[in-house]
Structure 1
Amino acid sequence: MTFPTNADPLRADPARQVVTLTVAVLTYLRPEGLRRGLPAIVEQVRAINADHSVLANILVVDNDADGSAGTFVATLDADLVRYVIEPEPGIAAARNRALDETGDSDLLVYIDDDERPTADWLRPLVATWRSSRAAAVMGRIVPEFSGDLDPWVAAGSFFRRRSMTTGTEIEVAATNNLLLDLQQVRDLGLRFDVRLGLCGGEDSLFSHQLTRRKARIVWCEESAATDFVPVERSGRRWVLMRTLSHGNTTSLVAVFLAETGAQRVGGRVKHTIGGLTRIGGGCARGIFGLATGSLRHEARGLRAVFRGAGMVAGAWGFTYQEYARPTSTVQD
C-alpha cells in the first residue's frame, strides 16, 4: 500500500522541508507533574524553533472539565503554549482532541503530564522521522523513582523499558513519547478508540491499526523522556494490577482488530488459551520461587498469573477499568 504525498515538492524531500510540529501534553489533575515537565518542553520547543527547519508549538489538553491546569499554563509563554479543555472523560478523547486541534500541523508529538523530557529529546524524534518517512516514531521512556523500590518489585525487573537501535521497526507503540506524521494518519482516517477510554490500550490499538495498513513505526533510541514514578506506583499491588490491566487490553485489542466473526472467535479462544497457560505457568514459577527463596521467580510468577487473568477476562469482553474515576468516568 502506498500513501498519497503532498503536491509540495518539499514533502518529497523531508531533509529540505520546513515542518510544523505540535507537542501535545495531555493532563488530568497532575499539577506537580505538569510543573516539573512543561517548562522543559517549552525550552526544547524554543531551541528547535531556532533551527528554522521546524516551526513548533505546544498544546495542553486538560481532561478536567473544571480546567484545573489553566492557571499554571497561563504563566507560560502564550506565543508557544495553547490550552484547551476536553470535557469528555478519558485518555482516548483527549488524544483525539489533540488530533482535532492540530489539523494544520505536519507532525504531532505526544508526551504525558508525568514525564519530563531529557536534555535532547525533540530533535532526535524529528531527525528520525526525516530519515525514515515513518508514520510514527517512538522514543525511550526512562523511569525515575521517588523512593526505594520494594525488593520484590526490583527483583522482578518490572520497570525495565525497551531499548533498541534507532530505525528499528516496531509493531506496537505507546503514546507517552511518540511522534506522528499527521498526513499519513489523516490519509488512513485513524483515531483513538473511545471504547478503551476506561481501561487503556487505545494507543496499542491505534498503532496496530497503523502497521496493519502497512504504515511504519520506527524506534528512536536518542530521544528519551523521564517517567516520574511516585511511591504509590512502585509497590506490589500497583505493579500487579497494572499487569492485569495490560493483559486485559491485550485481549480486547485483539478482538477489536478482528475483521470477521470467525476471527473474533479465534482471537477469543487464542487469548483464553494463552491466558490460562500464563496462569498455570505463573503458579508453577511462583511456587518454585517460594520454595527456593527466589524473589525473582516468585514475583515473575505472580505477575504472569495476573497477566493471564487479565487476558482471559478481556477475551470475553470483561474489562478492568484501570482509569475509572470515582464518578464512573475516566482518569488519564
Structure 2
Amino acid sequence: MIQIAVAAVTHKRPDMFRVLLDSFAAMARPEGAEVTFVFVENGEAPTVGEIVEAFRGQVAEEVLFDIEPRPGIPMVRNRALQIALEKGCDYMTFVDDDERVTEDWLVRMIGAVTERDLDLAGGPLVLEAAEDRIGAWPAAFLEHLQERAKKRNLQRAEGVRAGTDDAFNIYTNNWCVRLDKVRETGLRFDEALQFTGGSDTKFSRDFTAAGARTGWVPEALVYDRIPERRLQAGYHYRRARDQSTNAYVLNRKPAGQAIAQSLSRAIEGVVLMAVSPLLGRRHAAKAVYKFGYAAGRFRGILGRGSRHYDPEKAAAHREE
C-alpha cells in the first residue's frame, strides 16, 4: 500500500482554507493508498485550529497540523515536506490554500505518477472568481488571466502528447512528488527566496538537474479561486512585474536580450491600451500585464529582486 501526504500550507486565509478542506473531504481516494493530510500554518500561533478540527470530523484519515513561525513560503513548504518525510510517505502533493480540488484530482494525479513512473508531476489550474459577483474591471482582469491559463494548459497538454512535458516547470499550486527521490537528492525549497516567490520553480529545475523524471497530468484539475482584491490594476501590474523579475533572475538571460524583451512588451502595452476604448477592457488588462512584464525585466537587469510576498506589502494575499 502506498502512503500519500496530501499537503497544504496557509497564512491568514481562513475562509478560503476552509473551502479547500471541504474539497479534500469530498474527493475520491486512490485504491490501494493510505492518505495522511498535512497542514502547516505560517505564523507565530495557530489561527485555523478550529477549521482543522472540524475537518478531522469529516474524514477518516490521519490529519497532522503544525506551525512554522519563520515567515516565508519556502520555510512553511519545507516544514510540510519534512513532516511527510518523517511520516515515511511515498508521495506528497501540494495545492494552495486559495484553491479547491476536483473530486477525481488525487486519483488522476497518483494514477499518472505511478503509471508513468514520474518523480515530480504537475497539473492545470482552472481560474475562477472567489466571489459570486465581481465588478466589470475585475472581470476583465480575470478574463485575461483565464486566457493565459487556458493557453498554458493547452500547450502543456500538447507536450504530453508529444512526449516533451518533461521540459515544463512544476509549481506547488498543483504538485506531486515522489519522496524517495527527495530523500535521495536531499533537495528542499530554497529559503533564500523567502519573500520573492519562485521557490517552487527553482525546486523543479534543481530536481530535474538532479535526474528527476517530471511530467504533466492534464486530467488532474484544480480550481484557483481569485478574490476581487487581486483582480485590480495595481496587483495585476505588480504580479506581472515580480514574476518577470524572478524569471530574469532564474534564467540569467543576456541583458541585451532582456532589454529587447522589455521594450517589445512595453510597445505592445501602449498599442493595447490605445485600442482598449474600442475593443474592450480585456485589452487594457492585457496592457497592464505587458507594462508589468517590461518593468520586471528592467528591475532584474538593475539587480532589484522581487519582494512580492513581503508580509509588510502582501495585504492582497490575506483575508484580513
TM-score by length of 2: 0.84
Q: Secondary structure at the match of 1:169?
A: helix
Matched, 1:27 2:27: no
Matched, 1:313 2:310: no
Q: Which has the larger radius of gyration?
A: 1
Indicate the residue corresponding to 2:75 in structure 1. 93
Indicate the residue corresponding to 1:220 in structure 2. 217
Letter of the structure 2 residue corresponding to residue 95 of structure 1: R
Cα deviation code 1:95-133 (max 9, x no counterpart) = 111111011111000011111111211001000011111
Indicate the residue corresponding to 2:51 in structure 1. 72
Structure 1 position 81, deviation (Å): 1.2
Matched, 1:230 2:227: yes
Letter of the structure 2 residue corresponding to residue 275 of structure 1: A
Matched, 1:131 2:115: yes
Structure 1 position 304, deviation (Å): 2.5
Letter of the structure 2 residue corresponding to residue 160 of structure 1: R
CA contact (8 A) 1:248 1:320 kept: yes
Gap regions ≥5 residues in structure 1: 1-17, 255-266
Letter of the structure 2 residue corresponding to residue 81 of structure 1: V
Bigger shift: residues 18-27 or 66-75: 66-75
Cα deviation code 1:171-213 (max 9, x no counterpart) = 3111111000111122122110011121100011110112223
Cα deviation code 1:6-61 (max 9, x no counterpart) = xxxxxxxxxxxx211101110001110111111221333xx416x2x111110110
Kindly report structure 1 stretches of 4+ aligned residues shifted beyond 6 Å.
none
Letter of the structure 2 residue corresponding to residue 97 of structure 1: R
Q: How many residues in Structure 1 have an aligned counterpart in Structure 2?
A: 296
Higher relative contact order (CA 8 A, sep 6+): 2
Matched, 1:153 2:141: yes
CA contact (8 A) 2:41 2:68 kept: yes
CA contact (8 A) 1:25 1:113 kept: yes
Indicate the residue corresponding to 2:29 in structure 1. 48
When residues 141 and 284 of structure 1 are mapped into structure 2, their CA distance, relative to the original with a 3 A threshold, is same
CA contact (8 A) 1:275 1:309 kept: no
Cα deviation code 1:137-196 (max 9, x no counterpart) = 111111111234526525645653132155733331111110001111221221100111
Letter of the structure 2 residue corresponding to residue 322 of structure 1: H
